[in-house]
Amino acid sequence: MIIVRKILPSISCVVAALLLICSPAQSLPWEEPAKPRLVLQITVDALRADLPMRFARHYGEGGWRYLLDQGTHYVYAQYQHANTETVVGHASLSTGAYPADHGMVANVWLDREAGELRYNIEDPAHRLLTAGGGVDKSREIDPTQRTARSDGRSPGAIRVSTFGDELASHTGGRAKVFAVSVKDRGAVAMAGHAGKAFWFSKATGDFVTSDYYYERYPAWVEAWNAGKHPQRYANSEWKLAGKAGEYLFGEADDRSWETDFPGWGRIFPHAYGPGDGKYFTTFLTLSPAGDELTLDFAKALVENEGLGRDAVTDYLAISFSSTDYINHLFGPSSLEAEENQRRLDRTLAELFRFIDRKVGLANTLVVLSGDHGSPEVPGYLKDLGIEAGYFDPKALDRQPAIEALKKRFGIGEELIQTYFHPYLYLNRELIRQRGLDQGEVERAVAAELVKFPGVALAVSSDALLKGDVPDTWQMGAVLRNHDPDRSGDIYIVFAPHTFINDFDGLRVAATHGSPWRYDTHVPVIFAGNGVGAARITRPVTPYDIAPTLSAYLGINPPSGASGTPLPEVMGQRNGK
C-alpha cells in the first residue's frame, strides 16, 4: 500500500498530461496571443493632430482612410516637454521617455568642453560610408545641421534604450530592427543603438549610413543607389493633382509671407530643374518627392532584408519628412501643405498595399504619430485678426536691460555668448573671470528677459536644478526638457504665436519648438494585427507608444520610459 500511495500521484500526473494532449486545443491562462511578424512605426514630421482630418476630402482608399476608419485613433495626444523639435520628438517616440531622461534636449546644444555647438547625432568616430555624403551647405535648407563639424553619425548621445533596443535584446538579436528617413536624426533616433539606420544625403542623392551600423553597404543598398531613383524627378514639376477649386486653399497660392526659396518659388507648379542642379536634391525634400523616395527605399529594405518573414517580430520605423519642410516654407494653412497631405495619402496607401502583399496587415502592428506639431504663419494669423509676429534673439545682448546688467556686474563685453533654440548661453568664462556667481547672473538675466515683449517665460538653469520654480504646466514642460550637461543657462519660451524666422540667413515662414498646443498636439493611431476601429478622446501622450508596443509584445519597456501601455490597444490584444 505504501508503494501504491507513492505511485498514484505520478499516475495522476501522467493522466492529466494525456488529457491535455488529447483534448481540443485551448489557450492556457499564461499563454500570449500570437505576436505580429512586423511592427511598423510611422512618424510624419510636423504632423499636427488636425491635419489628417482637415484635408480628408482628398483621400482615396487604403491610406489615411485605412488608419482613420479601421484603426484606434487617439485624437488628443500631447507632448509634455517644452522643446518640440525633430530629434527631441523622435527620441521621445522611440524611448517613451522625456528629453530630461533620454538626453536629446534640442537639435543643437553647446558642448561646453569643446566650446562649440554640437549637432545632436554627430559622432566623428563613426564616419559616413559614402564619401562626400555629409552636409553640403550649398544644398542644405536645414540650419541645425550646419553646426555639424563632421559627417559622422551615431545614436551615442541617446542615454536610454529604445523600443528597438529592447526588441533586439528580448529576441537574442534575431529581430531585424531598421529605420529610414530623409533626415539623419529621424532615422538614427528611431533605430536606437541596436538597429540600423539609413537616411537621404542631399549631397549625393543617395540613402546613406555610417560605419556605426555597417563596415560596408549591403549589395542591395549599393544597387538601389546605383539606380539613381531621384533622377526620375529631374526636369519635372510638383503640380497640383486636382483643380484649384477642389482645395480649401485653392485661391491662396501666392502669399507674401511664404518663403521664396531660390528657384523653387511660392506658387504651383514648383520646378525640380535639372538633375545636376545646385538645389535639385533640396527641392526633392521640399515636396512629396522626399516621402516617395523614402517609401521606395523602405520597400527595397523590406524585400531584401526579409522583414516579417518568420516567427520573430521585426521592426521598421519610417519617418516621412516632407510635411515638416513644406510647413516651414509655406505654413500648414497653405495650398502646398494641402496638396502634400493629398500626396502623403497616396504614399501611405502604397506602403500599406506593399506591406499587405509581403507580410500581411493582419500580421503587422502599425502605429503612426508625429514628432511634433506645427504652428500657423504669423501672416496668416494676422489676416484672421490674431496677433502674431517674429522675435530676433540676436538683438538680446544689445537691449538696454542687458546693458544695465553688464554695468551692474562690471561686464563691458558680450554677456550673452550665443542663442540657439531654445537656450540662451551666457559667457561663463567671462563670469568666472569677474568672480561672479553663475547662478546669480543667470537669474538676473532671466528676470530681465521675461519683461521683453514676446517672451512668455525665461528660467535659469540654476533655478531648475534647485527646484526653485513655480508649479505650472509650462514650468513642468521645461523641467522635463532639462539636462544639466546639455541644456543652456536660460530657457526661453516665447509667447504664443511669436516665432524666430531667421535661421542662419534663411527666412522661414513658420517655426515649431514651443510648449504651446499647436506644437505639442499630434495624432496617435494604432492599426492592423486585429486592432479595431475606435476614436478615443481621453488625453494620452506619445510617450505611451513605446511602452504599449513593449507590452503588446511582452518585452521590457525602454529603460527610461515614462509612458504607460494604452488599455484600448492592449484590450484588443487580449481579445477583450
Q: Is residue 521 domain-resident?
A: yes
Are 367 and 402 in a shared domain?
no
Residues 175, 305, single domain; the answer is: yes
Residues 370 and 420 in one domain: no
pLDDT of residue 18: 38
Cell reading at 541 = 501622450
**How far is 303 from 83, CA to CA, in rounded Å?**
37
Residues 369, 248, single domain; the answer is: yes
First and final CA of the chain: distance in angstroms? Answer: 50
What's the confidence (pLDDT) of residue 136?
52
Residue 330, C-beta contacts closer than 8 angstroms, at least 6 positions apart: 258, 259, 266, 336, 337, 377, 509
Q: What is the pLDDT of residues 162-176, one digit of tens each?
A: 999 999 999 999 999
Assess whether 400 and 544 both reside in one domain. no
Cell of 149: 563639424
So what's the pLDDT on residue 13?
Answer: 41
Q: Are residues 488 and 519 in the same domain?
A: no
The last residue of a domain, from among 496, 528, 557: 496
Percent of the chain with pLDDT over 70: 90
435 and 519 assigned to the same domain: no
Average pLDDT over residues 364-382: 97
Model confidence pLDDT, tens digit, residues 483-495: 999 999 999 999 9
Residues 373 and 396 in one domain: no
Gyration radius (Cα) of the chain, Å: 26
Is 8 a domain residue?
no
**306 Cβ contact list (under 8 Å, min separation 6):** 176
Burial class of residue 325, CB neighbours in 10 A (0-12, 13-18, 19+):
buried
Report the alpha-carbon distance of residue 191 to residue 179 in Å, rounded: 5
Rounded CA-CA distance 76/78 in Å is: 6
316 neighbors 360 (Cβ within 8 angstroms): no
Q: Which residues contact 14 (CB under 8 A, 6 or more apart)?
A: none
Q: Is 42 helix (H, G, I), strand (E, B) or coil?
A: strand
Helix (H, G, I), strand (E, B) or coil at 111: strand
Asked if pLDDT for residue 575 goes beyond 60, the answer is no
Confidence label for 143 from pLDDT (cuts 50, 70 and 90): low
Helix 438-449, helix 400-409: angle, nearest 10:
160
Return d(Cα 461, Cα 491) in angstroms, integer: 7
Looking at the structure, tell me whether residues 168 and 215 fall in a common domain: yes
Cα–Cα distance for residue pair 281/260, rounded to 1 Å: 17
pLDDT score for 20: 37
Q: What is the pLDDT of residue 397?
A: 78
CB 214 within 8 Å of CB 196: yes
Looking at the structure, tell me whether residues 252 and 375 fall in a common domain: yes
28 in a structural domain:
no
CATH of residue 58: 3.40.720.10
The domain in which residue 428 lies consists of 389-496
CB atoms within 10 A of CB 358: 17
Q: 42 pLDDT exceeds 60?
A: yes
Whether 49 and 106 map to the same domain: the answer is yes
Which CATH number do you get for residue 439? 3.30.1360.150
Domain for residue 26, yes or no?
no
For residue 370, give the nearest of 42, 151, 121, 63 by alpha carbon.
Answer: 42
Which element (helix H / strand E) includes 67?
helix 64-70
- Whether 417 and 489 map to the same domain: the answer is yes
Average pLDDT over residues 375-397: 92
Task: Please state the domain count of the chain.
Answer: 2
Kindly report, residue by residue over 226-269, the tens digit of the pLDDT.
999 999 999 999 999 999 999 999 999 989 999 999 999 999 99
Looking at the domain assignment, is residue 442 inside a domain? yes
Q: What's the whole-number mean pLDDT along residues 327-332?
A: 96
pLDDT for 19 beyond 50: no
18 domain-assigned:
no
Q: Is 524 part of any domain?
A: yes
Given pLDDT bands bounded at 50, 70 and 90, which one contains residue 137?
very low
Residue 98 confidence class, pLDDT cut points 50, 70, 90: very high
One-letter amino acid of 166: E
Q: Give ∠ CA 8-11-16 in degrees, rounded to 5.
A: 125
Residue 442, pLDDT > 80, answer: yes
Element at 303 (helix H, strand E) = helix 289-305
Q: Which of 496, 531, 553 is the last residue of a domain?
A: 496
Domain assignment present for residue 250? The answer is yes
Out of 463, 496, 529, a domain closes at 496
